Structure 1
Amino acid sequence: MHKKENIRVQMNELGRLNQAFVFIINFEADHALIFSPDDSSQLLWQTRQAGNFETAKVKTTTMQWEIDPVAFSAYQQGFSRVQQHIHNGDTYLLNYTQPTAVKTNLSLEEIFHESQARYKVLLKDRFVCFSPEIFVQIEAGKISSFPMKGTMDATLPNAKEHLLNDSKELAEHHTIVDLIRNDLSLVAENVTVEKFRYLERLKTNRRDLWQVSSKISGQLPQNYNECIGDIVYKLLPAGSICGAPKKKTVEIIKATEGYKRGFYTGVFGYFDGKNLDSCVLIRYIEKQENQLVYKSGGGVTFLSDAKSEYEELVKKVYVPLKDKS
Structure 2
Amino acid sequence: MLAKHSIFDKMNELGAAKVPFFFMIDFLKENGEIIPLHELNNEINFEINSEKKQSIHKEFTFKKQPISFQEYLPKFQIVHKNLMFGNSYLTNLTYPTKIETDLSLSQIYQFSEAKYKLKYKEDFVCFSPERFVKIENQQIFSNPMKGTIDASIPNAKQLILDDEKEASEHATIVDLIRNDLSLVAENVEVTKYRYIDELKTNDTTLLQVSSEIRGDLKTDFHQNIGTIFDQLLPAGSICGAPKKKTLQIITEAEGYERKFYTGVFGVFDGKDLDSAVMIRFIERDNDSLYFKSGGGITAKSKAKAEYEELIQKVYVPIY
Q: TM-score range by the shorter chain?
A: over 0.9
CA contact (8 A) 2:199 2:205 kept: yes
Post-superposition CA distance 1:43-79 (Å, at most 9, x none): 00000169xxxx8975432120000011111111100
Segments of 5+ residues of structure 2 without an aligned counterpart are none
Measure, in 1, the Cα distance between the counterparts of 2:50 and 2:62: 30
> Is 1:10 aligned to residue 7 of structure 2?
no
CA contact (8 A) 2:50 2:114 kept: no
**In the alignment, which residue of structure 2 is the partner of 1:28?**
28
Q: How does 1:15-94 map to 2 (within 5 A)?
A: 15-37=15-37, 39-48=40-49, 59-94=56-91
Measure, in 1, the Cα distance between the counterparts of 2:233 and 2:115: 21
Structure 2 CA distance for partners of 1:271 and 1:59, relative to 1, 3 Å: same
Measure, in 2, the Cα distance between the counterparts of 1:179 and 1:82: 19
Q: Which residue, out of 210, 218, 229, partners 1:221? A: 218
Amino acid at match of 1:124: K
Displacement of 1:89? 1.2
Instruction: Give the TM-score taking structure 2 as reference length.
Output: 0.97
Post-superposition CA distance 1:170-225 (Å, at most 9, x none): 00001000000000000000000001000011000021000000000000011000
Q: How does 1:193-232 map to 2 (within 5 A)?
A: 193-232=190-229
**In the alignment, which residue of structure 1 is the partner of 2:254?**
257
Displacement of 1:40? 3.5
CA contact (8 A) 1:200 1:212 kept: yes
Amino acid at match of 2:111: E
Q: Which residue, out of 147, 156, 161, partners 1:159? A: 156
Q: How does 1:238-253 map to 2 (within 5 A)?
A: 238-253=235-250
CA contact (8 A) 2:19 2:36 kept: no
> Is 1:268 aligned to residue 274 of structure 2?
no
Segments of 5+ residues of structure 1 without an aligned counterpart are none
Measure, in 2, the Cα distance between the counterparts of 1:58 and 1:209: 19
> Is 1:289 aligned to residue 286 of structure 2?
yes
CA contact (8 A) 2:130 2:145 kept: yes
Instruction: Give the TM-score taking structure 1 as reference length.
Output: 0.95
**CA RMSD, 1 decimal:** 1.5
> Is 1:144 aligned to residue 145 of structure 2?
no
Equivalenced residue count is 317
